[in-house]
Chain A
Amino acid sequence: MLRGFLNARSPLRILERGLHGGLGRGNLGLVLAGHGVGKTPFLVGVALDGLLRGDQVLHVALDSSVAHTRAHYDTLFDDLAQATRLEDEAVVRGEALRLLSIRAWPRARFGVEKLREALRVAEETGARPGLLIVEGFEVAAASGAELDGLAALAQELPAELWLSAALPGEQAALPEDIAPGRFAVILALEPGHSAVALRALKDHDSPGAGKLRVSLDPRTLLLKRS
Chain B
Amino acid sequence: MNGELANIRNIGISAHVDSGKTTLTERVLFYTNRIHRINEVKGKDGAGATMDHMELERERGITITSAATHCEWNDHRINLIDTPGHVDFTIEVERSLRVLDGAVLILCGVAGVQSQSMTVDRQMRRYKVPRLAFVNKLDRSGANPQRAAAGLREKLEHNAVLMQLPIGLESAFEGVIDLISMKALRFGGANGEQVVEDEIPAEQRAAAEAAREEMLDAVSMFSDALTESILEERVTEELIHEAVRNGVLSLELTPVFMGSAYGNKGVQPLLNAVTRYLPSPEDVENTGIDLSNDEAPVLLSSDTNKPLVALAFKLEDGRYGQLTYVRVYQGTLARGMNIVNSRTGKRHKVGRLGRMHAEKMEDIERSTGGDIVALFGIECAFGDTFTDGSVEISMSAVHVPDPVISLSVKPAQQKSQENIAKALGRFVREDPTFRAGVDPESGETVISGMGELHLDVYVERMRREYGAEVVTGAPQVAYRETISQRTDFNYTHRKQTGGAGQFGRVAGYLEPLPAGEDFEFVNEVRGGSIPTEFIPSLEKGFRAMLAKGRLIGFPVLGLRVVVNDGQSHSVDSSDMAFQAAARGAFRECYARAKPIILEPLMKLGVEAPVTHQGAVLKTIMQRRGSVIGTTEDEGFCQIEAEAPLAAMFGYATDLRSATAGAADFTMEFARYAPAPRDIAAELEEKFQDRRRLAKDED
With A71-B85, A75-B17, A124-B617 known to touch, is A62 a contact of B60 (CB < 8 Å)? Answer: yes
* Residues of B close to A74: CB separation below 8 A: 86, 115-116
* Residues of B close to A90: CB separation below 8 A: 515, 673-674
* Residues of A close to B86: CB separation below 8 A: 67, 71, 74
The answer on a CB contact under 8 Å between B484 and A87 is yes
B62 sits at the interface (CB 8 A) = yes
* Residues of B close to A101: CB separation below 8 A: 627, 629-630
The answer on a CB contact under 8 Å between B630 and A104 is yes
B217 sits at the interface (CB 8 A) = no
| Cα separation A40 to B108 with both chains bound (whole Å) | 15
A94 sits at the interface (CB 8 A) = yes
Chain B: CB-nearest residue to A69: B629
The answer on a CB contact under 8 Å between B141 and A37 is yes
B564 sits at the interface (CB 8 A) = no
Segment 616-638 of B: residues with Cβ below 8 Å from A: 617-618, 621, 626-633
* Residues of A close to B56: CB separation below 8 A: 106
B18 sits at the interface (CB 8 A) = yes
The answer on a CB contact under 8 Å between A72 and B18 is yes
With A75-B16, A170-B171 known to touch, is A121 a contact of B617 (CB < 8 Å)? Answer: yes
Chain B: CB-nearest residue to A108: B59
Segment 43-68 of A: residues with Cβ below 8 Å from B: 59, 61-68
What's the tally of chain B residues with a CB closer than 8 Å to chain A?
46
With A90-B673, A191-B170, A196-B141 known to touch, is A70 a contact of B629 (CB < 8 Å)? Answer: yes
* Residues of B close to A103: CB separation below 8 A: 629-632
The answer on a CB contact under 8 Å between A124 and B614 is yes
The answer on a CB contact under 8 Å between B626 and A98 is yes
Chain B: CB-nearest residue to A138: B44
The answer on a CB contact under 8 Å between B111 and A219 is yes
* Residues of A close to B265: CB separation below 8 A: none
| Cα separation A101 to B628 with both chains bound (whole Å) | 6
The answer on a CB contact under 8 Å between B60 and A106 is yes
The answer on a CB contact under 8 Å between A78 and B627 is no
Cβ-defined partner of A70 (8 Å) among B141, B262, B628: B628
| Cα separation A102 to B630 with both chains bound (whole Å) | 6
The answer on a CB contact under 8 Å between A106 and B629 is no
* Residues of A close to B613: CB separation below 8 A: 121
| Cα separation A121 to B137 with both chains bound (whole Å) | 39
Chain B: CB-nearest residue to A109: B632
The answer on a CB contact under 8 Å between B110 and A97 is no
With A64-B60, A104-B60, A218-B110 known to touch, is A125 a contact of B618 (CB < 8 Å)? Answer: yes
Cβ-defined partner of B631 (8 Å) among A66, A75, A82, A107: A66
The answer on a CB contact under 8 Å between B62 and A75 is no
* Residues of B close to A170: CB separation below 8 A: 171
Segment 85-113 of A: residues with Cβ below 8 Å from B: 87-88, 90-91, 94, 97-98, 101-109
A17 sits at the interface (CB 8 A) = no
The B interface is mostly helix, strand or loop, or mixed, namely: mixed
Cβ-defined partner of B141 (8 Å) among A94, A125, A192: A192
* Residues of B close to A121: CB separation below 8 A: 613-614, 617
| Cα separation A202 to B201 with both chains bound (whole Å) | 44
- Bits for B107-127, please: 1 = Cβ < 8 Å to A, else 0: 000111011100000000000
| Cα separation A40 to B62 with both chains bound (whole Å) | 15
The A interface is mostly helix, strand or loop, or mixed, namely: mixed
What's the tally of chain A residues with a CB closer than 8 Å to chain B?
54
* Residues of B close to A106: CB separation below 8 A: 56, 59-60, 632-633
A126 sits at the interface (CB 8 A) = yes
The answer on a CB contact under 8 Å between A194 and B57 is no
* Residues of A close to B673: CB separation below 8 A: 90, 94
With A94-B673, A101-B627 known to touch, is A63 a contact of B61 (CB < 8 Å)? Answer: yes
A195 sits at the interface (CB 8 A) = yes
* Residues of A close to B303: CB separation below 8 A: none
Chain B: CB-nearest residue to A197: B141
A207 sits at the interface (CB 8 A) = no
The answer on a CB contact under 8 Å between A63 and B60 is yes
Cβ-defined partner of B114 (8 Å) among A75, A105, A192, A217: A75
With A66-B630, A78-B115, A104-B632 known to touch, is A195 a contact of B142 (CB < 8 Å)? Answer: yes
| Cα separation A63 to B142 with both chains bound (whole Å) | 25
| Cα separation A39 to B112 with both chains bound (whole Å) | 18
- Bits for B59-71, please: 1 = Cβ < 8 Å to A, else 0: 1111000000000
With A106-B60, A196-B141, A219-B110 known to touch, is A75 a contact of B628 (CB < 8 Å)? Answer: no
With A78-B114, A193-B141, A219-B111 known to touch, is A107 a contact of B59 (CB < 8 Å)? Answer: yes
What's the minimum C-beta distance from A98 to chain B, rounded to whole angstroms? 5
| Cα separation A65 to B150 with both chains bound (whole Å) | 31
Cβ-defined partner of B142 (8 Å) among A79, A120, A125, A219: A219
A36 sits at the interface (CB 8 A) = yes
Closest 3 CB pairs of A and B: A218-B142, A102-B629, A191-B141
Other A-B pairs beyond A94-B674, A105-B632, 13, CB < 8 Å: A35-B262, A66-B628, A74-B86, A75-B111, A82-B115, A90-B673, A102-B630, A106-B56, A106-B632, A120-B614, A125-B621, A194-B142, A218-B141
Q: Could you list some 30 contacts between A and B, CB below 8 A?
A: A35-B262, A36-B262, A37-B140, A63-B61, A65-B60, A66-B629, A71-B86, A72-B18, A74-B116, A75-B115, A78-B116, A82-B115, A101-B627, A101-B629, A102-B629, A103-B632, A104-B629, A104-B632, A105-B633, A106-B60, A109-B632, A121-B617, A124-B617, A126-B621, A136-B60, A194-B142, A194-B144, A194-B170, A196-B142, A217-B142
Q: List residues of A whose CB falls within 8 A of some B CB.
A: 35-37, 40, 59, 61-72, 74-75, 78-79, 82, 87-88, 90-91, 94, 97-98, 101-109, 120-121, 124-126, 136, 170, 191-196, 217-219
